[in-house]
Amino acid sequence: MKVLIVGLNHKTADIDIREKLSFNGLKLEDGMIKFKGLPEVEEAMILSTCNRVELYANVSDAEKASMSIKGFLSRFHNIDMAVLDNVLYIYDDVAAIRHVFRVASSLDSMVVGEPQILGQLKEAFEFALEKKTTGLLLNKLMKKAISVAKRVRTETRIAENAVSISFAAVELARKIFTDLSEKSFMLLGAGEMAELAARHLMNNGVKEVIVANRTYERACELANEFNGRPVKFDEFPQEMVHTDIVICSTGAPRYVLMKDQMQKVMKERKQKPVFIIDISVPRNIDPKINQLENVYLYDIDDLQGIVDANMLERHKEAEKAERIIEEEVETFLKWQSSLDSVPTIVALRDKAEEIKKEELENLINKLPELGERERKAI
Amino acid sequence: MVTILFELALTFYFAAAIVSVMELFRGTKTTSRFVLTFAVIGFLIHTANIIARYVIAGHIPITNLHEASSFFSWCIVLLFFFLEYRYRLGLLGSFIMPVVFILMLSSSMLPRKIEPLSPVLQSYWLGIHTVLAFLGDAAFAMAFGIGIMYLLQEHYVKSKRLGGLFQRLPSLQILDEINYKLITLGFPLLTLAIITGALWAESAWGSYWRWDPKETWSLITWFIYALVLHARLTAGWRGKRAAILSIIGFAAVLFTFFGVNLLLKGLHAFK
């Protein structure tokens, strides 16, 4: 009774191999049944996401079982064994338990700490439960992995800070304004990154969207897409009087908004705070604007700086998480070994019962003069 | 008995203040729950202490500096519970409970004897005037705490270093809004306190206003908060400026309260 994992992830395999080996849609059920059908495998479960494919099993002989699972993968996905050897990792027993806990806690993720993987693992587990391919060992392992992941999330700050530029922008907006749904937002120009950040803000619900672009048609197009209102580019400073958040990325080679212009805008809006995100390179907003009261200007480097600092923080927290995981691996191993001793205990108890019976019979045979009452008492 | 209640309340406020400061360094849900629990227990005992004094003295117990300071703290804690219930601002306790503790501590060091009320003070104005004044002052104390929180958070956002308390402090907008609300609450209370004080002075001493230091300093305080409100509505002095002004305003409140009584002599000086 041992946990065995055969798998690959974004570190060991390119996207095209991961695609070929993935168990998506109908393939999952078919794959699980065939996987469970392998003679060396007692329990089976498959986790398949864009970044990883992992097969979990309860086996007695890890070596034999891993060969058989590899063979199964090769046949199922029609991939050469030699290719598989290059990308697959195999963990058994303690290493496997640790690996599952690390995956669930998002320590093995592409972006450490991102929580999606836990949801995906839960789903995979639920599917396995539904198809009844798991049993005592894997059920306990998965339940434990989920609780370990929760413990890591509450006891460390691994998932606390934003680690992408658009997340960082939204997080900042939330610390400047209370409720984004009553704020209006302007998209000035349109680069890919600006659109991404805009989309992110929109997902958090803003009251009104204004789109300004050098070419008015493009502004109309984008306004359509974002369900907003297009304005002529020259009018944007006037629009800023009632705009709370601005994302700017125009591709202009110079500043399109200067400090004295902004000063006028602030006066007109009675100093209500403005959050400006200038994603353009070269910058489009005069950096001196940040000196104005109630104006918060962030450029791409500022945001990247925050992301880097947060990433560093996450890696520090990940070390704490690793310690938690070591602890939990220990407890799991204890549980597992107590399980191993169950048959021994049962055997011992049976043996004791047998001896008792024998001895009693001997005793009764030795004392034939005892009456029915005395025998019962004994 | 009265003394024991006071000491107990002080102890619980002390515990709340210590945990609330610890929370700045390492905060979890448990620590903020501890702060609130200690504050609630302290507040209940404190309430019992004030009622006991009322029963023994037979009039509202705000007639010496010990009682006044104690009642002032009581009002602040009451307002703290209200804000905590209404807005659930992270870390508010860390910026308010230490203030409460310091006020209570200074109260504990002042003479506590319950003495018969001098004839001039024996009036229903005593209760009205003092309660209005301290409720107003409590709102200003709260605005002070919120103002410090604002300045801290604004510093993080402006300097673009988002470490420290950035994650746990509330947003700038909510802090600014609450600051404004507190001042719009405190200002009319202070105004009414000054008016009722003048009316009382007229009935007790025969003139509405005598420019005694307490009166002068109350007026100065009143002007500072009038400026805060006026500048906000006309010139858009919000955010950082409002926060700084509310800190200056509270300094004036404290001076009117302690400074005048301890440093300057006048009709308002408690015996």
Mutating which of B25, B149, B158 best tests the A interface, going by the most A Cβ atoms within 10 A? Answer: B158
Q: Are A116 and A149 in contact (CB under 8 A)?
A: no
DSSP summary character for residue B169: S
Instruction: Count CB-CB contacts under 10 A for residue A310.
Output: 22
In this prediction, residue B266 has a pLDDT band, given cuts at 50, 70 and 90, of low
CB contact under 8 A, B172 and A273: yes
Residue with tokens 């001098």: B118
Q: Does B236 touch chain A (CB under 8 A)?
A: yes
CB contact under 8 A, A309 and B163: yes
Which of A172, A178, A267 lies nearest to residue B173, judging by beta carbons? A178
pLDDT of amino acid B40: 96
Q: Does B175 touch chain A (CB under 8 A)?
A: no
Residue A332 in 3-state DSSP? helix
Task: Kindly compute the dihedral angle of the four CA atoms of residues A159, A164, A169, A173, in this order, to the nearest 10 degrees.
Answer: -10
Residue with tokens 């996207």: A15
pLDDT of amino acid B170: 94
Residue ranges of chain A whose CB lies within 8 Å of a chain B CB: 160-161, 172, 174-178, 267, 269-273, 290, 293-294, 296, 298, 302, 305-306, 309-310
Strand A245-248 relative to strand A274-278, pairing: parallel
pLDDT of amino acid B267: 59
Q: Which residue did the predictor score with more confidence, B247 or B206?
A: B247
pLDDT of amino acid B270: 60
- For the domain made up of A2-155, the CATH class stated in words is alpha beta
Nearest residue on chain B to A304, alpha-carbon basis:
B160
Q: Which residues of chain A have pLDDT under 70?
A: 341-344, 375, 378
| C-alpha–C-alpha distance, residues A206 and A153, integer Å | 29
Question: Does B39 have pLDDT greater than 50?
Answer: yes
In this prediction, residue B235 has a pLDDT band, given cuts at 50, 70 and 90, of confident
CB contact under 8 A, B160 and A160: no
**Known active-site residue A50:** yes
pLDDT of amino acid B48: 94
Enter the CATH code of domain A165-305.
Answer: 3.40.50.720
The size of the A-B interface in CB pairs under 8 A is 56
Region B197-202: mean pLDDT is: 90
pLDDT of amino acid A95: 94
Q: Are A165 and A111 in contact (CB under 8 A)?
A: no
pLDDT of amino acid A350: 79
pLDDT of amino acid B265: 64
Q: Is the previous residue joined to B119 through a cis bond, with omega within 30 degrees of 0?
A: no
Q: How far is B159 from chain A (nearest CA, A)?
A: 9
pLDDT of amino acid A194: 77
Task: Kindly compute the dihedral angle of the four CA atoms of residues A326, A329, A330, A332, in this order, to the nearest 10 degrees.
Answer: 160
- The C-alpha angle B265, B269, B271, rounded to 5 degrees, equals 115
pLDDT of amino acid B229: 94
Q: Does B169 touch chain A (CB under 8 A)?
A: yes
What per-residue string of b and e applies to A343-369 under the rule 16 or more CB within 10 Å gives b? eeeeeeeeeeeeeeeeeeeeeeeeeee
Q: How far is A267 from chain B (nearest CA, A)?
A: 8
Question: Does B31 have pLDDT greater than 90?
Answer: no
Q: Which of A1, A38, A50, A129 is catalytic?
A: A50
Mutating which of B146, B155, B172 best tests the A interface, going by the most A Cβ atoms within 10 A? Answer: B172
| C-alpha–C-alpha distance, residues A351 and B191, integer Å | 91
| C-alpha–C-alpha distance, residues A303 and A166, integer Å | 9
Residue with tokens 């806690």: A105
DSSP summary character for residue A285: B
Q: How far is CA A19 from the centre of its chain?
A: 19
pLDDT of amino acid A244: 94
Q: Are A174 and A198 in contact (CB under 8 A)?
A: no
Q: Where in chain A is the domain with CATH 3.30.460.30?
A: 2-155
Contacts of B177 in chain A (CB under 8 A): 178
Mutating which of B155, B173, B174, B241 best tests the A interface, going by the most A Cβ atoms within 10 A? Answer: B173
Region B69-89: mean pLDDT is: 93
| φ and ψ at residue A55, rounded to 5 degrees | -110, 120
Residue B168 token pair: 């746990």
Question: Does B76 have pLDDT greater than 80?
Answer: yes
With CA atoms as reference, report the closest residue to A213 among A191, A237, A231, A195: A231
Q: Where in chain A is the domain with CATH 3.40.50.720?
A: 165-305
In this prediction, residue B114 has a pLDDT band, given cuts at 50, 70 and 90, of confident
| C-alpha–C-alpha distance, residues A159 and B259, integer Å | 49
Residue A123 token pair: 């789903």
Residue A312 token pair: 């560093």
Residue B155 token pair: 């510093």
Enter the ipTM.
0.86
Region B181-207: mean pLDDT is: 92
pLDDT of amino acid A313: 86
SS3 content of chain A, % helix, strand, coil (to 5): 60, 15, 25
| C-alpha–C-alpha distance, residues A235 and A219, integer Å | 13
CA gyration radius for chain A?
32
Question: Does B271 have pLDDT greater than 60?
Answer: no
Domain boundaries, chain B: 1-117
Q: Are B93 and B23 in contact (CB under 8 A)?
A: yes
Contacts of B165 in chain A (CB under 8 A): none
Contacts of A302 in chain B (CB under 8 A): 160
Which of A269, A272, A298 lies nearest to residue B160, judging by beta carbons? A298
pLDDT of amino acid A359: 82
